[in-house]
């Protein structure tokens, strides 16, 4: 808390706005957009790598939040103030930091695999700035961000040889283990005897994430199997075709994600509907949309 009080004293309007902008790079949307760009346009195995680090990191993060149930800094110390613009998005328990885990996992994995020095530098700078921004705006303590950094770095260095090895032979086993972890986390959230005073919003968030991750990992397993056996899509295309591919693809992913929600919730209920919805999103992003990539690869080429 003393370190957070130090950061509170140096706040100025310009730096406040900068840190609020930086901290958005640790949100789920930034992670998904970057992971899909890598998967569609750079190398699908680098995409698998980034997605795997993000999914398992989120599982670990959510599990620890519900295990320790540590309140936010301004709840621990009523005299401490946060930036009010950050309060709405800072619901849930404090330890560990989800934004930090996501940013360090995403940009750290990019820095780990990129061959271009400028990209590595930018990725490392973002991976450093996001944890600082979480403390600066007052929503996390140093312990929250340090533990998240440690989790993300561990996953980055453990998963790289497993996923980016020459033959990719460990991917099915790894995906199976990740799926088992998701099932284990779902059982934990559904059946563990949490105390009566558990924050209902935090518990609801943990339950939603459990079904989200289960559906997403089932979809990822299906994508890998179908692509390896049948689709075998390529990511190459001219630069402007890549931009077109990403823009249209992201719009369609959003349509699938939002458009199927009312029907699935009505038919299956909120939680099972969420699992099926994220399964469909991943299957669309990993199978149906890549079926168009042969067409994109032909754009800009002379007959």
Assess contact for 112 and 156: CB atoms under 8 A: yes
Structural domain boundaries in the chain: 2-298
Give the span between the Cα atoms of 189 and 203, in whole angstroms. 8
* Amino acid 293: pLDDT: 96
Rounded to the nearest 10 degrees, the angle between the axes of helix 171-191 and helix 200-226 is 160
Q: Residues with catalytic annotation?
A: 99, 140
Structure tokens at 287: 């199978």
Residue 302: pLDDT band (50, 70, 90) is: low
For CA atoms 119, 247, 51, 98, the dihedral sign is: positive
204-212 mean pLDDT: 91
Q: Cα-Cα-Cα-Cα dihedral of 96, 97, 100, 102, to 10°?
A: 90
Whole-model pTM: value is: 0.92
173-187 mean pLDDT: 94
Assess contact for 46 and 164: CB atoms under 8 A: yes
Segment 98-138, tens digit of pLDDT = 999 999 999 999 999 998 999 999 999 999 999 999 999 99
Q: Would you tell me how many other CB atoms lie within 10 Å of the CB of residue 301? A: 9
Residue 292: pLDDT band (50, 70, 90) is: very high
pLDDT above 70 (res 161) = yes
Give the span between the Cα atoms of 151 and 55, in whole angstroms. 12
Q: Is 174 helix (H, G, I), strand (E, B) or coil?
A: helix
Q: Would you tell me how many other CB atoms lie within 10 Å of the CB of residue 96? A: 27
Segment 10-61, tens digit of pLDDT = 999 999 999 999 999 999 899 999 999 999 999 999 999 999 999 999 999 9
Q: Would you tell me how many other CB atoms lie within 10 Å of the CB of residue 106? A: 30
- Write down the residue that tokens 């944890």 correspond to: 131
């Amino acid at each position: 808390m003393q370190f957070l009080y130090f950061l509170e004293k140096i706040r100025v309007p310009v730096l406040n706005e900068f840190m609020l902008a930086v901290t958005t790079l640790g949100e789920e949307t930034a992670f998904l957009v970057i992971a899909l760009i890598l998967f569609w346009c750079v190398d699908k195995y680098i995409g698998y790598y980034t997605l795997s680090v993000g999914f398992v990191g989120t599982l670990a993060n959510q599990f620890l939040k519900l295990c320790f149930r540590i309140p936010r800094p301004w709840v621990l110390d009523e005299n401490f103030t946060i930036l009010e613009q950050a309060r709405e998005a800072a619901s849930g328990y404090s330890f560990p930091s989800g934004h930090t885990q996501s940013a360090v996992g995403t940009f750290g994995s990019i820095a780990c695999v990129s061959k271009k020095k400028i990209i590595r530098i930018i990725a490392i700078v973002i991976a450093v700035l996001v944890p600082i921004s979480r403390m600066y705006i007052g929503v996390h303590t140093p312990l929250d961000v340090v533990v998240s950094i440690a989790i993300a770095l561990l996953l980055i260095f453990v998963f790289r040889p497993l996923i980016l090895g020459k033959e990719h032979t460990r991917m099915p086993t790894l995906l199976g283990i990740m799926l088992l972890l998701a099932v284990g986390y779902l059982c934990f959230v559904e059946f563990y005897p949490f105390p009566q005073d558990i924050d209902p919003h935090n518990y609801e968030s943990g339950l939603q994430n459990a079904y989200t991750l289960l559906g997403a990992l089932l979809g990822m397993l299906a994508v890998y199997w179908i692509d390896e056996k049948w689709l075998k899509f390529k990511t190459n295309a001219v630069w402007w075709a890549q931009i077109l591919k990403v823009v249209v693809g992201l719009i369609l992913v959003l349509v699938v994600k939002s458009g199927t929600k009312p029907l699935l919730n009505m038919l299956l209920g909120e939680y099972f509907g969420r699992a099926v919805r994220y399964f469909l999103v991943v299957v669309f992003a990993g199978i149906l949309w890549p079926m168009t990539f042969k067409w994109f690869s032909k754009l800009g080429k002379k007959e």
